[in-house]
A and B are shown apart, each in its own frame.
Chain A
């Protein structure tokens, strides 16, 4: 397993390299944001450990650019910044985990191992399907770039449909994932399907008789 450690405090970076190597990882270190981005783009890492306050490119920016390039290597942000928004921003930009310095090395190693298990499958923080683009962090939806106003329930239902765009989604499934009460009538799903069609166009939802819906974003 290969780990990239981007950390500008050289002594901390050296200690992390030594500890990770001892735990069986192959470790590359860099103290620079741009260099980290280049390394992560060129080599296949299993986990990237990123500091936020890096020279040339911040950890946030490295995360954003990697995800924009479709590189889904799990990212662990390790920062002394512990503000609520610092952590939320990092995760919303596409990082997978956040540890606050100072951390216990044992716990840090466990975080790295957990991320290795997760693997590099695509986990976009912004869901895209056809012309639709939904950002769950800001609760905004755009269709071909134009913003569209949806209620919270409509957004939640659309997000579920967009995340399962390649298959038929049953009404019962939508009820279970989007509605708070399991005893809500299935008709509610039909009503909301009607709302989505009205706001996004009739052809957006294809009804599959007897089974459910399939999202059809042109």
Chain B
């Protein structure tokens, strides 16, 4: 239950909390300040008074010592103050004009205990005011006696009272005014935040569909809010970019999925529409089957990409000799394994890595004129598997793009021969999931060299 006021406080608005905190600090600060000032003032005034009554006491003591006490005693230099000379029994021997020469200012008991000290007290012999009193032992007519000197603290009391009024009346007004000013100023300072929030709130998914990214209005002030708005705008631009990428990926995926479906549908519709002889049907079915297979491949590739994107690439991480990934049976009709090199192992998922090599060889075969060659190199840290072809190659500027999804640089080739443009992208994604990469360079055969590079596992 102790946390509930804290929770309540934290659930208040920032504006309220800052105003309350600032007001509290101001009120406490002012109160402490006034208290310290008063204390210093009182100390300094009391020291002044003490000095003057000690001088008076010393003067009277000297007079008593020389046995020449006048009646009345001389008034203190400040004009404010009293002095009495008391004998050992506490009876008044001499006094200043302003005080009684019968009634002692202090009873004997207090005089003896306070001798030598300055202190604050009241005295019925003088009046209701607070007094600073000093008692000094003296020799009076050759016997033991005391000099008592005093001065009123009237001005100190008056000043303290005035300060008290300030504390009670002016301080609350001042604090309330400060609180109001803080409330207004914070409201004004937070207004752009509120506007930014409202603008950011108004950004909807469809705002990312346009050609330009959605933007929040950047405040003209050069402060944190301006930087916040600019940061938010950069974030929106990045979101817009990734949303555009996403949309174009989906559009491409839709295109690649629809094309074979369209082909199958039209083939079957036409076969039903146009009189088809029984012996022609197998050809119709085989042709449709081609497109169904293509559809299946695109669907598989898309699912594999989705799995790669979600980071769920083949959990079994086994130790694989790279040479076993390119057994002659996997090389297809045109590829030749030139050099398996040293026996180098990598850690990974054999099925996924097979897929990489399959895709690289399929791509090379598509462009090769006559030859596809595979070779393996290894150094202490990495294993490289090269797939070379003697085809036209890819210009340096296009190589990076060739590894992107749905990119088919072979616009000159028809759909039937070119793939969907996912093979190399998938190969690179799998390689990267294995802390490796796929890079494209020139092949010694004159065409393209696609290299799968993986970290070596001993």
Contact = CB atoms under 8 A, between A and B. Distances in A.
B146 to A, nearest CB: 109
B357 to A, nearest CB: 28
Interface stretch (A77-85, A126-134, A150-158): A77-85
B269 interface: yes
B270 interface: yes
A31 B291 CA distance: 17
B261 A32 contact: no
Nearest to A32: B414
A101 B258 contact: yes
Contacts of B43: none
B263 A12 contact: yes
B245 interface: no
A81 B262 contact: no
Interface residues of B, number: 28
A18 B273 CA distance: 10
B413 A9 contact: no
A211 interface: no
A115 B372 CA distance: 49
A53 interface: yes
A22 interface: yes
Contacts of A8: 414-416
Contacts of A32: 414
Contacts of B267: 11-12, 14-15
Interface stretch (A65-73, A102-110, A171-179, A195-203): A102-110
A56 B411 contact: yes
B262 A55 contact: no
B412 A105 contact: no
B412 A16 contact: no
Nearest to B291: A11
Contacts, number: 88
A22 B415 contact: no
B262 A101 contact: yes
A22 B262 contact: no
Contacts of A80: 254-256, 258-259, 262
Nearest to A82: B254
A22 B413 CA distance: 29
A19 B273 contact: yes
A102 B412 contact: no
B317 to A, nearest CB: 39
A182 interface: no
A10 interface: yes
B255 A55 contact: no
Contacts of A11: 263, 267, 287-288, 290-291, 416
B259 A9 contact: yes
Given A12-B267, A105-B266, 18 more contacts: A8-B416, A11-B416, A15-B270, A15-B287, A16-B270, A18-B270, A18-B274, A19-B270, A19-B273, A32-B414, A53-B255, A80-B262, A81-B251, A81-B255, A82-B258, A100-B258, A103-B265, A105-B273
30 contacts: A8-B414, A8-B416, A9-B263, A10-B414, A10-B416, A11-B287, A11-B291, A11-B416, A12-B262, A12-B263, A15-B269, A16-B270, A18-B274, A19-B270, A22-B270, A32-B414, A55-B412, A56-B412, A80-B254, A83-B251, A100-B258, A101-B258, A101-B259, A101-B261, A101-B262, A102-B261, A102-B264, A102-B265, A102-B266, A105-B270
